[in-house]
Structures are given as structure tokens and as C-alpha cells.
Amino acid sequence: MKLEIPLTFDDVTLKQLQIYGEGEGSNMQKVLGFSGMPEDEARKLPVSAIKSAAEHIDKVMLTPTQTHYPIITIGGKEYGFIPDWSKFSAGEYADLTTYLENPTDNCHKVASVLYRPITRRSGKRYDIEEYNGTAEADKMLEMSAGDFYGMLAFFLTSRSEYALTTLKFLDREIAKVTSAKRYKTSFKINGAGIIFYIRSRATMLVKWILSLGYRLRKF
């Protein structure tokens, strides 16, 4: 009977991240959530093995990576981070802000807006599929938590400043296609609204992820 758990934060999936955050926190629950082992088999393992595995998981959760990768691979398929923010659509804008209202439950949906299947690639340059709602959301549950955290780090660094200059038209476009008051009141027509909003929510997600490893656990 072999117990397999992630070796690093990059090996953790978004699905496991969400399970870890939602669980009651026992060592057994952590091991079940991260190993995929049936409970009846896990219960046959020595208490020391469960405790050791749980402690390793805690250490993994305390060491998130912060590298942002524009291109990631999930299930053998390449996905690209939005390459041109000036083409960010009203639909993408509306869905992203909706998902960010409850970001911990919608990590995979947030990722499905910002990363999409690559249709054409030449070196570091690439095109991605047009936005089609959450068609790829379930697949994003297998996204590396490290890649997701790196994406959040991107929005919290100066590297995202370039987006401010290419998003000036967004709020004007939103005003044209929707009458939803929250878009008109939450985002001033200065082009920076969405980035600042994403940053605030990204900060919330970063704090949530970091807090997971500090929770007290008991068997």
C-alpha cells in the first residue's frame, strides 16, 4: 500500500487546495484529500505514517512558489495567460469580477478566465481561444497551485502596470453593454479599476493560501 502525496507546492492542484481549505483539518482528512487513497485503505496505515504525511503537507503549503508562467500545461494541453489586455472583453470582465466576489470557491473559474487553450504558438508569442464562459473551468481544478499562486503574484507586482495603459477603454465599454450599477459605481472610468480590483482580491487569495498551512491540525 503506497501513500502518494505532493512533494512540492507546484505538485498541489487547485482541487486539493480547495479541499484543504474546506476540510475540518484532521491529519486523516488532509491525507485523504491530497493522496486520493480510499479511506478504508488509509485507515489501515500506521498513525505515525498519517502524522508524518500530514506534517509534510503542512510544510508544502507553507512554501508557495511565486513565479508567473504565461504558458502552462494541464493534462497535456497548453493554456496561455491573456496575452493582450486591450482585447479583454466585457464578458470576461463581468465573469471575472463575479467569480472574484467569492474567490476561494471559484479559484478554478478565475483561472479559466485568465488562462485559455492556445490555438497558435510561435516561440513565446501565442494566441488563445475566444472566451467561452467556464467551458474549461473543471479542467482548471487540475491546475498547479503553484501556477495559480504565481498568477496572483503577477497582479501584486509592478509587472502588471502595463495593463493599466491598455485597459483604459474597458470601463467605457462596460458602460455601453451593461446597466449593472455595481460596474458603474465600483469602477471609475479611468481604465485602472479592474487591475486594482483584481489586486485586492488577489491579496485576499494570497492571504487565504498562506493561512492554510498555519491552521492547527489534529488527528
Q: Where are the domains of the chain?
A: 9-63, 71-210
Written in H, E and C, the secondary structure of the chain is: CCCCCCCCHHHCEHHHHHHHHHCCCEHHHHHHHHHCCCHHHHCCCCHHHHHHHHHHHHHHHCCCCCCCCCEEEECCEEEEECCCHHHCCHHHHHHHHHHCCCCCCCHHHHHHHHEEEEEEEECCEEEECCCECECCCHHHHHCEHHHHHHHHHHHCCHHHHHHHHHCCCHHHHHHHHCCCHHHHHHCCCCCCHHHHHHHHHHHHHHHHHHHHCCCCCEC
Residue 44: count of CB within 10 angstroms of its CB: 9
pLDDT at residue 22 in the model: 72
Q: How many residues does the chain have?
A: 219
Residue type, 140: M
CA distance 46 to 77: 38
pLDDT tier, 218 (very low <50, low <70, confident <90, very high otherwise): very low
In terms of pTM, does the model score above 0.95? Answer: no
Mean pLDDT of 79-105: 83
pLDDT at residue 190 in the model: 37
pLDDT at residue 133 in the model: 86
pLDDT at residue 155 in the model: 67
pLDDT, tens digit, for every residue of 171-205? 555 555 544 444 443 433 333 455 555 666 666 66
pLDDT tier, 65 (very low <50, low <70, confident <90, very high otherwise): confident
